[in-house]
Structure 1
């Protein structure tokens, strides 16, 4: 993808210099990623659990449209959750704590929700996704200290919107899966926040970014139709 990964845009490293993503752009990218995950979880014909959601797996094109990639670790959400188990480990910093603590080491779609919460925390703070980022971020929100850690140059005064996004991230980061929202709920809330920013969303033109069903495949990777995702999953087993 021409603009690399979301990680490269959030965490400036040596090499290509990029302008910081504004809050509207960050929330739009988050909403597109959430839409892709919601589709995999609920509308793909078979439930697909990505199991390794992170900013290096979110690719950006020339329009900064997000494409979710990295389906090599994905699994089908079967009735017997033990089949989605021990060979899948995710990435440190993004891992579902209930997966780590569970004796059966099972993954569910709510594991993706937790990982997405870490992505959202990264987008809002610019902090690296280290092991304790989720705990640190939740502490900021609950302690009323979030504003001191928000990236002021990207928030541009939209602190109310940023706080609502942070509260959503906190809900995604609940230790217990049953307390986390679904990706459909997450996507809907992010879309509302993007629309609330109005003309700031795309540099001067208000838009409803919710993708139509025929466009949703474009959000799951440059070569990822559901058939190719299925092939990736089944060939890995």
Structure 2
């Protein structure tokens, strides 16, 4: 599956090699000079300007739009799995990485189970009501990623796992949005992490919205 994916915003997969004396297998993928977006944010005092934030969000949305077009659900979308090249100050590049938990969707649903990383997991993954979920779980995660991009922080960093799970499942817990967040970013972020998957936009809709936002600040 991985070798058949070709998109400028999805990390290229080159093959599998034996790694170390125990002969364990390791994947060989495209190298991104600045590592993960999480690493970059922490090195840069957790701040990134609005223009670069929009570019990175667009790149991630384009990559996810492509994966969903191939019926692939990522299941673990977060800043740690977004890889970046920030060498060009005018045009950073972001690519979707770590497809290790991804699954191919059959028809409209995919088997879920508890997979992913807790703060980014959609309510329907944690509720236990159904083992079948839609690709909209990735959209929920993207909403949390937008918050990470905005603040540079890790969501719910000072909370216990049980409290996080309860809050997400009961739809009473979402990251606190800073008062200085621009309205368009806030609106897209909140719609992406909506409690009902039906209310979340598709990545095609997200990409379109981000393009409109980017045009207002002359991002190409």
When normalised by structure 2's length, the TM-score is 0.71
Partner of 2:199: 179
Q: 1:103 aligns with which of 124, 129, 133?
A: 129
- What CA distance in whole angstroms lies between the structure 2 residues aligned with 1:11 and 1:91? 19
Q: What does 1:10-25 correspond to in 2, within 5 Å?
A: 10-12=41-43, 20-25=47-52
Does the residue aligned with 2:112 lie in a helix, a strand or coil?
Answer: coil
Tell which has more relative contact order, 1 or 2 (C-alpha 8 A, sep 6+): 1
1:74-120 deviation line (CA, Å, top 9, x unaligned)? 00111373x5233x510010001112114223332100000000000
1:135 aligns with 2:173: yes
Q: Do the aligned partners of 1:9 and 1:20 also contact (CA within 8 Å) in 2?
A: no
- What CA distance in whole angstroms lies between the structure 2 residues aligned with 1:80 and 1:166? 28
Structure 2 unaligned runs (5+)?
1-31, 157-163
Partner of 2:33: 2
Structure with the higher strand share, 1 or 2: 2
Does the residue aligned with 1:60 lie in a helix, a strand or coil?
Answer: strand
Change (3 A) 1:60 1:101: same
Q: Do the aligned partners of 2:139 and 2:203 also contact (CA within 8 Å) in 1?
A: yes
- What CA distance in whole angstroms lies between the structure 2 residues aligned with 1:129 and 1:18? 16
Q: CA RMSD in A?
A: 2.3
Partner of 1:60: 84
Structure 1 unaligned runs (5+)?
151-161, 202-206, 208-237
Partner of 1:26: 53
Structure with the higher helix share, 1 or 2: 1
- What CA distance in whole angstroms lies between the structure 2 residues aligned with 1:80 and 1:189? 24
Structure 1 residue 19, shift from structure 2 partner: 8.6
